[in-house]
Amino acid sequence: NQIIARAKSPVRISFGGGGSDLTHYFYENDGAVINATISLYSHATLQKRVDDKIIIFSSDLGSSFKANNLKDAIGKKSPFGLILSMLELINPDFGFELHLRSDYPMNSGLGGSAVILSAVIGCFNEFKSDPWTNYEMAEIAYQAERISLKISGGWQDQYACTFGGFNFMEFTLEDN
């Protein structure tokens, strides 16, 4: 029997405030953005394997990735660095095949990297006995992209594509 999870995540368009979600900006000034998600998605299908192998296919990249296990996968050079960074954070205890595709072109400015991460995290969340909240999933996506891979950018993408809908987000540092 195949155990499969599917998830999709929407892209976001910004109406205003872009750049004020950058940590260095709202460290000194409060920030706010208005955005909405639209009906273009990244799709992920995750199938558990009976062994520890990790296989990833991306129709967007026209590429695949194979490793004997998670330890073997982490640190391998590949076009799947973003996914591998997320896998290192969530540390799944099973092998899997992951199929990825998107309804929009890469580098479109729609927050695509966060969108694909959100869809993949959504698949893994289906296998958890104590599922992550939307906030936790957005945080995992943020950490994988911005902290682990050191890709510069703000916070709105991860939260918008995880929560969906029309969003007004404020960014400020809390006084402790």
Residue numbers annotated as active site? 157
Exposed / middle / buried, residue 138 (Cβ in 10 Å: 0-12, 13-18, 19+): buried
- DSSP annotation of 79 reads T
Rounded (5°) CA angle 73-145-57? 45
Exposed / middle / buried, residue 36 (Cβ in 10 Å: 0-12, 13-18, 19+): middle
CB-CB neighbours of 29 under 10 Å: 9
- DSSP annotation of 146 reads I
- What's phi and psi for 170, nearest 5 deg? -110, 145
Which letter, b or e, does each residue of 89-118 get, where b requires 16 or more Cβ atoms within 10 Å of its Cβ?
ebeeeebbbbbbbbebeeeeebbbbbbbbb
